[in-house]
Amino acid sequence: MAVDTLEKALAEVGYGRWQVPVVIITVVVHMLAPVHMIGSTLLNAQPPFRCRDGSQSGLVNFTTSTPSFVLRPEENIASNTTDTGDFYNSECLVGTAAASSSSSSSSSSSSSSLSSERRGDNAREAWRLTGLALCPEILQDDSIFSSTVSMEWNLVCERSWLRPLFQMAYSVGSMVGSTGGGHVSDRYGRKRSIQIACGINLAAVLGMWFLPWYPGVLAARVLSGCSIGCMILPVFSLALETTPSRHRTMAGMLLGTSFSVAVVLFAGVGYLIRTWRLLLLAGSVPLLVVLPMSFLVAESPRWLSQKGRGHEAAVILGHAATKNRVELSPALTSALRDLQEESQVKEKPERSEALDLTWGERARAWLHRMTVYMRFPALRRIIFATMGIWYLQGILYLGIILNANNFTSNDPYLYLAMSGTMDCLAILLATPLNMRMGRRFIVGGALLVAGVLLLLDLAVPEELWWIRWVLVMTSLLLIAAAFQVNFMYVPELYPTVIRSRGFALASLAGSFGFLTAPFITDILVQKSWWAVGATFGSSGILASLLVPLLPETNNMPLPDTVEDVELRRKGIKAAKKSKGSQEQGDETKEMAALAADV
């Protein structure tokens, strides 16, 4: 009865003023994410540089170290200078030059090390000591970036392997946040999870601002990844759980445009603020809105009902009706009253029983729940299919961005703004199609076509660069569309009792995809020129083959229990379900006990 009551109540409440705080906090959380998720593009970029051995005569033997963005010579050196084509050559000293550099650089005075080798009026920064054998003194081009993490700690030459750790630290934190945040959200509520994540994110930002050590910054990056993972999943679940079924597709899709807009804004702010610490603070300003808003939003009525707190859910829904200026029908008002009275009887015994359990008993109960979940065919298929799809789409999405040399300009700000624009365009195009054709068609079709286009890109000659540009950019658009649809599709697949944890599991698989992508673009490309394109294309096609394993959820009520998921697999609508289904037998009773989530 609770499922039908909540669905009918949300349908009568409609979409209005009551949902405004939820929309605001969802939008602002999505606007906070880019500085952490993709901020390394600007925060940790390595501009072109030049090395010398300290004697100002050691620029002879080199080995190439590829920079993040290769600037054209005319962008580096003033037009009135000569022989400047390879001034910022991003090359490290080797052989005798490197061997002699250690003694010469240590004996040279600070005034000598800070004296610049200048070319006309274009010199931008003094040479400085690095402590590196292959680059004792460095001169970095600051025409694009005034200060980045890589520039501050000289992450070049033998230290270049430390540079990717900045992005990897976030991905590791995101994995922890996704799994831990899902558990906190399902156990303590969507609202409490958002508040905890805000505190962690504030600590991470302050840590990166004040810490003068690179290991400390990496630790703060792990915290930032943990907080964003712990924040996005619950806030999106809250947005979907407070939206009536008929509005869920539109709301779920359009809320995702806030992230795309934030990426474009982040590129603009980055263009104005060229130092990484100030840019980090500017990008974290939305946190000042999220923190107070987290105390103003209402808890999810669905979560409250599943936790035996139906009286609170009934009060919130009654307040929602008043806020949206609608009057609930007498029958629904009576149903909410019954739900309130029923939960008041159940709540105290369930809570006291949960508090009596030891940590060992809770761990055993958790393992038992996991094995029970796997015994249900529909839920089992959803778990494995969503994990596979998110892992592969994570590889595709980040991999194309990292492999941007095929289609982007040399301007990182323009490229970042272009990526956000493509994301936004993908969502706007996919929204009407999603409402008409459903989730499976959009996700499966977009991933399949993107994979095929990436394979076709391998057959295009280098001289036809504009065709390659169109193919890869179209693939990026399609993958962004599939990603956004999946962001609202996955929470709809899982029941309320484990929705955040199911969403977290899929997000965890996506984080592993993000970790895999750099290995493909940086290591696999060295084996063969076609390996990257073939891997990305095959990933898109393989992901599309997993989509038919999932049910369609467009305009369908959200499932509240595992029984609802199993009934949906058999084609039984939620409105016709009976609470005591004989077909489920003992398994239904067992899952009802697990719903308490001790």
- The tens digit of pLDDT for each residue in 561-575 reads 878 888 877 664 444
- Note whether 184 and 313 are same-domain residues: yes
Residue-wise burial string across 416-451, b where 16 or more C-beta atoms lie within 10 A, e elsewhere: bbbbbbbbbebbeebbebbbeebbbbbbbbbbbbbb
CA-nearest of 126, 125, 130, 160 to 46 is 160
Residues 31 and 172 placed together within one structural domain of the fold: yes
pLDDT of res. 95: 53
CB 244 within 8 A of CB 14: yes
Mean pLDDT, the chain, rounded, equals 76
16 shares its domain with 81 = no
Q: Which CATH number does the domain housing residue 303 bear?
A: 1.20.1250.20
Domain interval for residue 58: 49-145
Lowest mean pLDDT segment, chosen from 180-184, 243-247, 466-470, 521-525: 521-525
Q: Which pLDDT score, from 0 to 100, does residue 362 have?
A: 62
Last residue of a domain, one of 115, 145, 175: 145
Q: What is the per-residue pLDDT for 4?
A: 63
Which of 530, 544, 345, 362 minimizes the C-alpha distance to 440? 544
**Confidence (pLDDT) at 304:** 84
Residue 373 has pLDDT above 60, yes or no: yes
Is the model's pLDDT at 174 over the cut of 60? Answer: yes
- Give per-residue pLDDT as tens, 179-232: 777 778 878 888 888 999 999 999 999 999 999 999 999 999 999 999 998 888
The answer to the question of residue 178 being in a domain is yes
60/200 same-domain check: no
Q: Are residues 348 and 390 in the same domain?
A: no
Indicate whether 576 pLDDT > 70: no
Does residue 292 lie within any of the structural domains?
yes
* Same domain, yes or no: 61 and 207: no
Single-letter amino acid, residue 10? L
Alpha-carbon gap, residue 301 to 249, rounded angstroms: 19
Q: Report the percentage of the chain scoring pLDDT > 90.
A: 15
- The pLDDT of residue 276 is 93
Task: Let me know if residue 153 belongs to a domain.
Answer: no
Instruction: Give yes or no: residues 361 and 285 share one domain.
Output: no
Query: Is 118 a residue whose pLDDT tops 70?
Result: no
Give every CB contact of residue 112 below 8 A, 6+ residues apart in sequence.
Answer: 54
Contact present, 280 and 43 (Cβ < 8 Å): yes
- Given a contact cutoff of 8 angstroms between Cβ atoms, the answer to whether 477 and 422 are in contact is yes
302 shares its domain with 348: yes
Residues 6+ apart with CB under 8 A from 39: 266, 279, 280, 283
Those residues whose C-beta lies under 8 Å from the C-beta of residue 359, and which sit 6 or more positions away, are: none
178 and 70 within one domain: no
Average pLDDT over residues 10-34: 87
Dist. CA 417–CA 265, nearest whole Å: 8
Poorest-pLDDT segment among 19-33, 242-256, 331-345, 507-521: 331-345
Examine the pLDDT at 137 and tell me if it is beyond 70.
Answer: yes
Name which residue leads in pLDDT, 397 or 77.
397
- Same domain, residue pair 276 and 181: yes
What span, in angstroms and rounded, lies between the C-alpha atoms of 307 and 560?
A: 11
Handedness of CA 187, 191, 197, 202 (dihedral sign): negative
Q: Determine which of 223-227, 231-235, 468-472 has the lowest per-residue pLDDT on average.
A: 468-472
Q: Is residue 155 part of a domain?
A: no
Residues 302 and 386 in one domain: no
User: Is there a domain that residue 322 lies in?
Assistant: yes
Domain count, the chain: 3
Record the pTM.
0.72
Q: What does the pLDDT average to over 394-399? A: 84
- Rg (the chain; Cα; Å): 27
Q: Is residue 44 part of a domain?
A: no
Question: Which of 331, 356, 381 delimits the end of a domain?
Answer: 356
Q: Are residues 208 and 329 in the same domain?
A: yes
Q: Which residues neighbour 175 within 8 Å (Cβ) at sequence distance 6 or greater?
A: 225, 229, 508, 511, 512
DSSP string, 444-462: HHHHHHHHHHHHHHTTS-T
Would 11 be classed as within a structural domain? yes
Q: How far apart are CA 200 and CA 41, in angstroms?
A: 23
Residue 357's pLDDT band, with cuts at 50, 70 and 90, is low
Q: Which of 89, 117, 145 is the last residue of a domain?
A: 145
Give the per-residue pLDDT at 432.
Answer: 81
Q: Is the pLDDT of residue 114 over 50?
A: no
Per-residue model confidence as pLDDT tens digits over 523-541: 676 577 788 888 899 999 9
Instruction: Report yes or no on 211 lying in a domain.
Output: yes
